Structure 1
Amino acid sequence: MMTALIRYTLATVIHSQRYLAPVMVFVVCVATASGSNQGPLPGVYAVNSGALLACAAWLSIAVISVEEPAHRAIAIVTAGSAVRVLIATLVTDCLVLAAMALGGLALPLLMAPHSITGADVLVGALAHLMCGTTGLAIGLLCSRLVFRRQGYAFLTASACVAAALLVSGMPPNTLFKHLANTGHGDTVLGSTTALATTGPALLAAAAVATHVISTRKD
């Protein structure tokens, strides 16, 4: 059942093409940063993961908005559970996010000369994981399942993304500072690993909160 539901959700998202805007904006940001920055690789990955956070929030909102409420209600009845539909949406988000993260990791290696180490790439992967899942969590909490008025959702999502990126002490902001101030990934591998766990944890919490809120509203 879940495999068929995920395939249906993925096919619906691909057919709607609503994923294209956040994906293309991310590719442009990464290509610009990667082509013009020949400095240490962790610093480049800091910029790319920041762009991924913002675009992942956009992606999450776009994927949930693909289906009208009536169509989503039919999907819930067919699947037998609102939880299953939400999980299928999250898996679809994560599949698109994984492709975006791979682009964020690979393009800097292809577009400019860098001194590459395994630690640099691992740190970059962890940064993309943390920022990507944080962005999905923000988008989920600001989606139509929680906010009925899209204007409020947009303002809230923008404020949350800006806070995550710019407010000192927030995990993404702390991560960016660590990566930007080092020339070697192995020096920040421990701190990056610790920070990376906050993203998936936030996404899990956001999924639970979204389910509870949407269920009560329905």
Structure 2
Amino acid sequence: MTALVRYRLTTLLLSQRYLAPLLLFTALVTVLTSNDTGPLTAAHAASGLAMLLAATWLTMALAGLDDPPHRAVLTAATGGHRRLTTGTVLAALAACLPLTALGLLLPLLVGDHSPAAADLLLGAEAQLTCACTGAAVGVLTARPVVRRQGHGLLLALALLLVLTLGKGLPPVNLLLTRLSGHHRSADLVGSTALLLALAGALLGTAAVVGQAVAVRRD
């Protein structure tokens, strides 16, 4: 599995399809947290929203790297659809890890904050929650689940709107609502960990659905 994840990440780097989501993430976090002197929870909300978009884009890019003939060869070489889907998901999450570090660092550079350990832990949890959710959306809207890129993009946008704007809907809207309130980071660490677990379960379910669709279509 390690070799497969490394291969997927190397292919992504060589294709340079990571540049657009990276620039989007950096721009959003910088603009939304620039000159911010308020609580870091609001900055974590901005970083989480940026991560949601970037993770979706990265996952769709990874899943769409291969045309059908190449995907068939890769599926056979890796041992089946389940391993290929798992490798793609793990590669997407691995690509989000540097963004998580960037999302923690940028608000400190462009704003005025004195972070505590709880602030950094909460920020990491929030971004990883959004990364898992974005990866789930990406798996369900990319090939082979949705064969046409235009249709996949529209479906991804619709799902992202529901996840972010659906009032009280976990994990994303509920997370952003809590982070935007006037709370101490230490008070939100436990509840955000539960949302992270929920996002992980959502990603696992999406991966199973994506694998089932791939098996049926092939």
Give me the TM-score of the superposition, normalised by structure 1.
0.95
Query: What amino acid does structure 2 have at the position aligned with 1:193?
Result: A
CA contact (8 A) 1:18 1:66 kept: no
Query: Paired residue for 1:211?
Result: 211
* Ranges in structure 1 where 5+ consecutive residues have no aligned partner: none
Distance 2:120 2:2 in 1: 31
Which amino acid is the alignment partner of residue 216 of structure 1?
A: R
Which stretch has the larger CA shift, 147-156 or 38-47?
A: 147-156
Does residue 1:88 correspond to 2:87, yes or no? Answer: yes
**What is the RMSD of the two structures over their aligned residues, measured on CA atoms?**
1.3
Partner of 2:130: 131
User: Structure 1 85/30 Cα, relative in aligned 2: closer, same or farther at 3 Å?
Assistant: same
* Separation (CA, whole Å) in 2 of partners of 1:38 and 1:69: 50
Q: Any unmatched runs of 5+ in structure 2?
A: none
Contact 2:55–2:135 under 8 Å retained in 1 = yes
2:173 aligned with 1:168 = no
In 1, the alpha carbon distance for the partners of 2:204 and 2:51 equals 18
Identity, % of aligned pairs?
Answer: 38
Q: Which runs of 4+ in 1 moved over 4 A?
A: none
CA distance in 2, matches of 1:167, 1:200: 19
Compute the displacement of 1:183 (Å). 4.3
In 1, Cα distance between equivalents of 2:4 and 2:190: 38
Deviations 1:63-102 (A, max 9, x none): 1111111111111122222222222211211111111111
CA contact (8 A) 1:19 1:63 kept: no
Give me the whole-angstrom Cα distance separating, in 1, the residues matched to 2:209 and 2:124.
27
> How far apart, CA to CA, are the structure 1 residues paired with 2:67 and 2:181?
45
Q: Equivalents in 1 of 2:58, 2:37: separation in Å?
A: 29
SS of structure 2 residue aligned to 1:110: helix
Secondary structure (helix, strand or coil) at the match of 2:84 reads helix
The alignment of Structure 1 onto Structure 2 pairs a total of residues equal to: 217
Q: What residue identity is the alignment partner of 1:196?
A: L
Alignment partner, residue 68 of structure 2:
69
